[in-house]
Amino acid sequence: MPHYAMLIDAARCTGCAACRIACQMQWQLPPEIFFNRLEFREQGKYPHVQQEIVPVQCMHCDHPPCATVCPTQATYKRDDGLVLIDESKCIGCKYCVVACPYDVRQVNERGIPEKCRFCAGHIENGGQPPCVTTCMNTVRVFGDLDDPDSEISRQMKEKNVYRLAEYKGTKPRVFYVKNGG
């Protein structure tokens, strides 16, 4: 059984938003709904200030608080690590929206909280998420952490990585390359 994850090298991101647009096109989302966003952060002190662009999306946590609080198990975690939503079970309570420490849930026109799915259909057919394939700067690497020959496994061994809000104990499956790498 694969264990999917994503590695993001934010230092390579130019802020072009191709990842966001590709995702919106894939899922036919209106402009105001998006499953990934770019956070523009300042680092350093004047006069040595730099801007960092951090892509943020559902972290597909090993311990997803969104699934824990869901009263109908509409949000669930698969064995391969994907955290998905069964819309037929969702009652629209939005507990998952509040529970997510990454603020990545988007409520659609039907009142259903949606989010990044790691494009489950694409990866089940051997493909990659469009946010990965569209990026001109190879900011994102997606793959199976249990496959030692996968690109993500190789890069995770070579680079110094971290996860957002690790202190929350969610164990996200989206990893980031530390500056300087």
DSSP 3-state of 18: helix
Q: N- to C-terminal Cα distance for the chain?
A: 29
Residue with tokens 């603020």: 103
Residue with tokens 């824990």: 68
Tell me, what's the pLDDT at 9? 96
Residue with tokens 């597909």: 60
Structure confidence by residue, pLDDT tens digits, 53-99: 999 999 999 999 999 999 999 999 999 999 999 999 999 999 999 99
Cα 71 to chain centroid distance, Å, stands at: 23
Tell me, what's the pLDDT at 52? 87
Tell me, what's the pLDDT at 181? 57
- Res. 1: pLDDT tops 90: no
CB 171 within 8 A of CB 77: no
Residue with tokens 């059984």: 1
Kindly report whether the global pTM for this prediction surpasses the value 0.85: yes
Structure confidence by residue, pLDDT tens digits, 9-48: 999 999 999 999 999 999 999 999 999 999 998 888 889 9
CB 94 within 8 A of CB 1: no
> Within a 10 A sphere around the Cβ of 98, how many other Cβ atoms?
13
Tell me, what's the pLDDT at 180? 59
Partners of 106 in beta bridges = 114
CB 10 within 8 A of CB 52: yes
Domains of the chain: 4-177 (3.30.70.20)
- Res. 175: pLDDT tops 90: yes
Structure confidence by residue, pLDDT tens digits, 96-152: 999 999 999 999 999 999 999 999 998 999 999 999 999 999 999 999 999 999 999
How many Cα atoms occupy the beta-carbon half-sphere of 56 within 13 Å?
A: 17
At residue 12, φ and ψ (nearest 5 deg) are: -85, -10
Token code pair at residue 141: 């690497």
Tell me, what's the pLDDT at 150? 95
